[in-house]
Structure 1
């Protein structure tokens, strides 16, 4: 009966996603924007409102989120079928999607905070779902780093009470140069980079891989990590030209480069895909920081489609290989699960930017538009080389899963589930045609960019350079394994150590010292344990006196009388 409810929810989400796509298309053609407003109560002449803002951007994004979540529900029904707490998992997943929809529809920072905080709280519950030490540590790292962004959003809510309303859509055109609005935008910017895991908040994103794979497919494609990008897209008219957009540009370029290098040294399948998500988030925010918010949103939609498919296909490989995530144990899987490997490589090639797949249209457009801006050679190098590293770790994944030898043990059971494959087939279809469809819809005037041949082929050239660099790093892997350079590359530029151990290690050492010296030392000796020992010794003395003969009582009485005589 309960499973029928979940199938109903899955079908409802899928139909609702189709409705949102059609509604977004209608809003785009008719150039419409709807805003629904309910006044809850009034506080100090500031009205607390519940707002829903509907335009083609929110409708398209909600359609993508609902489509992916419906496929994840279908996938989870069979992926998690042996779990004891399956229904709790499904409910958490449903409320996670509802929180994201609430965030998308909210132009008000108060109602947006409900979705924003709901995402953080439920993501913590999903990361610690397996209830072991690793999941607990990963969940705590995730929730504490996200709380920094939550505090920034709360501070922006407090500051915006000066304007009389928290509806930031009303300020897009009129308060661009206002000094106080710059402070609000800076706080929103700080909240967005924590949610989107930019440097220095990057370590929580690979750590969140402790969650089940269907959660990772939802989190890393269209919900939690994209919330920061979506918020910056909404604030882009206010933020364009402000001082911290240059800061965002530097952070996003470094994040993109760092994630690409780290992914080439990682052997955990889910962490490689998580680092690729981090690289793509850096790419979106870098394009957004130079004022191309619509192209950034376009890549956000296409990335959600193929990244969710990549996680779902990786989840099947992990599930079938006895929960093994080490890519060195895989190989030659095309002979065992051909359909899964084909879909896995479709999403992988779409991530690379293979021509005429979903990722090609957005990435090629971003690269060619970027060439038309005036930046120095170092920025150009980091940008194009990071795109090349995407090809490097994607082909590395394909090599280990398809070409290399099968290194798993003899006891394995490889098969393909029909319903799991159905959800992946729908997403693979979107990964093939989604990029072109969204480009035809969103850019009514086609972007035909004319360049010299050397610039036109620069994207392809740097992709080849990145692929060769990835092969070179793999060959040098065993030479630099014992060096700190390997830990630097693999450990996200020491980010994991700096922002986990580096923050709490001194406090843990001090607390351990205080535990040994005070709690288990002097406080124990002078406190409860010391008092207990003294009472025991005195009671033993009293017991000895009571069990002794009359001579002891007489001696004690004589001694007491002697003391009284000497005193008085």
Structure 2
């Protein structure tokens, strides 16, 4: 089943890419309506929007998912339920397709909720307590966004149709559209894990690594960004855009800082995803939706590769994810380490790799824009932190000697996994330049002073140096961290967000709900309400029954006769 799914998705991906090129070069946009059923002049119509953006994004999602399924055929080979796993992944991809091509809020909701439901099934795939807790946190955090989405659908009733693409341009300054924009932004913030909904994203690492490669590159977490790209007109020169700029900048900063305190390999990569999502959201809130889309595509390529390499390393390390137990992997696993390092360099923005074209352009446009000093600091400091944790990760995993006490057979023998990684390796090298030529055929003229032009490079070099030093002088770093334990705990636990989410959003509201239920619904309300009324009616009914079914009525009749005879005799006298 793996090979059939891989070939089918790969071929469809290539076809969609060619369609995307055709639509992009000819500036086409097709809006299709399919009448599903018509009954008594009431028709149910399914609408699809095909333009260069939807075709390119679908092409990339299908390419990554095809390679992930190919990779899974070896990674999950020991699983007896591998076909069920592949079916779940395919359902996940189909939900994403539905979300991408829908110009209609109702049909987007099908894909949106499909993603939420299938992601829950995939996070709890390894059936243990940790997975169940992570799945519940993921599902409940996303339900907040789903409720906001449903409210946006209700508000769209004011326009007589749910096809939002018709109304954005005309109605963007009306109160209704501002409310809809705020609700859509809240939904996108939960799906793309912006502050204060960030805690579910590292928790979702409980899923199998191929799922992480798919979820954290091109599907679930990017759904919110893609939705806001479609609604980008509502963010330009508005209060919502300024608010999103602040929140996404803080998310970028928080994730970059947290990754430098983390020792779990998959969680470091998850926090790097969170940081890049903050970057996409922040540039989108400034009105540069094409740049956000460009970074969305390039990031998908190297992040999927990074997770695949992490999966191969975890397999060889006998399922250990602690980077302190790794070391010297470049000697034992040269091919995997090479792919891992290329993906890491692309993430850092190494010149002429995929990440460079989008990140460098984003930061130069930020320098060119009218932006406050705080947001400017968040952009550049977060970029430095990205290089810092990437170099720290490479230092711990690739240099020195293997720190694991057990005997591990470290090798590159997983050829199917290596082939899956090779496809993404090529795209991580050439994807950025290819996409920049396609999406921006006319180059941006960014005229900056030399110190601003070199600021990105300087920040990257400085971040890399700091990352190397704090890893190399690890004893000093550890002592400093433990000397300031509360600060380290604060930064390392994502600013206490997992605790706020689990206790503040899930545990205590459920406890309060239980108490309210037992005190009111099953307590006073029952005693004075339904149950009391029932008991009273039963007692009245039994009294009536007693009156009807005994001899009292005969005595009453005799008593009445006697009284009437008595009074009649008295009257006669």
Aligned to 1:86: 82
Structure 1 residue 513: Cα displacement: 9.7
Q: Aligned-pair distance for 1:177?
A: 1.2
Query: How far has the Cα of 1:233 moved from its partner?
Result: 0.3
> SS at the partner of 2:31?
strand
Report if the CA contact (8 A) 2:122-2:211 is conserved: yes
Partner of 2:564: none
Alignment match of 2:427 (pick from 430, 438, 454): 430
Aligned pair 1:259/2:255, yes or no? yes
Query: Which range is displaced more, 180-189 or 354-363?
Result: 180-189
Partner of 2:561 in structure 1? none
Q: Which residue in the other structure is 1:271 paired with?
A: 267
Partner of 2:481: 480
What secondary structure, in the 3-state scheme, does the structure 2 residue paired with 1:54 have? strand
Residue 380 (structure 1) aligns with: 376
Picking from 193, 204, 211, the partner of 2:200 is 204
Match of 1:38, SS state, is: strand
1:530 equivalent in structure 2: none
Per the TM alignment, residue 9 of structure 1 is displaced from its structure 2 partner at its CA by 1.6
The equivalences for 1:230-241 within 5 A come to 230-241=226-237
* Residue equivalent to 2:446: 449
Q: Does 1:501 align with 2:516?
A: no
User: How far apart are the structure 1 equivalents of 2:399 and 2:486?
Assistant: 31
State the partner residue of 1:555: none
Report deviation, 1:343. Answer: 0.3
Tell me whether 1:290 sits opposite 2:286 in the alignment: yes
RMSD: 2.2
Question: Does the C-alpha gap of structure 1 residues 110 and 420 become closer, same or farther in structure 2, counting only changes over 3 Å?
Answer: same
Q: Distance in 2 between matches of 1:478 and 1:208?
A: 31
**SS in structure 1 of the partner of residue 45 of structure 2:** strand
Instruction: Report the TM-score, using the length of structure 2 for normalisation.
Output: 0.86
Aligned residue among 417, 436, 452 for 1:420: 417
DSSP 3-state at the match of 1:173: helix
Q: CA deviation at 1:476?
A: 3.1
**Distance of 1:260 and 1:46 partners within structure 2:** 52
1:74-473 maps to which residues of 2 (within 5 A)? 74-416=70-412, 417-470=414-467
**1:187-246 residue CA offsets vs partner (Å, 9 max, x unmatched):** 111100000000000000000000000000000000000000000000112332221111
After superposition, the Cα gap between the structure-2 partners of 1:411 and 1:300, relative to the gap in structure 1 and judged at 3 Å, is same
Matched-pair contact (CA < 8 Å) for 1:47–1:165: no
Unaligned stretches of 5+ residues in structure 2: 520-573
TM-superposed deviation, 1:264:
0.3
Q: Any idea what SS the aligned residue of 1:354 has?
A: coil
1:388-422 CA distance string (max 9 Å, x none): 00000000111111113211134212222111111
| Alignment size in residue pairs | 513
Q: Is the 8 A contact 1:385 1:463 kept in 2?
A: no
CA distance in structure 2 between the aligned counterparts of 1:79 and 1:448, rounded to whole angstroms: 46
Give the match for residue 564 of structure 1. Answer: none
> What is the CA distance between 1:479 and its match in structure 2?
2.5
User: Counterparts of 2:19 and 2:228 in 1: how far apart (Å)?
Assistant: 23
C-alpha separation in 1, matches of 2:297 and 2:206: 25
Return the TM-score normalized by structure 1. Answer: 0.87
Describe the superposition over 1:276-316 as per-residue Cα deviations: whole angstroms up to 9, x where unpaired: 00000000000000000000000000000000000001100
Deviations 1:370-393 (A, max 9, x none): 001122322221210000000000
Contact residue 386 and residue 466 of structure 1 kept, 8 A: no
Distance in 1, Cα, partners of 2:13 & 2:207: 25
CA distance in 1, matches of 2:83, 2:156: 40
**Does the 8 A contact of 1:262 with 1:491 survive in 2?**
yes
Q: Distance in 1 between the 2:372 and 2:22 partners?
A: 42
Query: What is the CA distance between 1:273 and its match in structure 2?
Result: 0.2
- 2: CA distance, partners of 1:119 / 1:46: 30
My pick for the range that moved more, 162-171 or 208-217, is 162-171
Cα gap change, 1:236/1:504 in structure 2, threshold over 3 Å: closer, same or farther? closer
Partner of 2:495, secondary structure, is coil
Mapped partners of 2:44, 2:342: distance in 1: 47
SS of residue in 2 equivalent to 1:311: helix
Please state how far the C-alpha of 1:504 moved relative to its aligned partner. 4.0
Q: Which residue of 2 aligns with 1:24?
A: 20
| Separation (CA, whole Å) in 2 of partners of 1:238 and 1:45 | 34
Change in Cα spacing, 1:396 to 1:43, as seen in structure 2 (3 Å) is farther
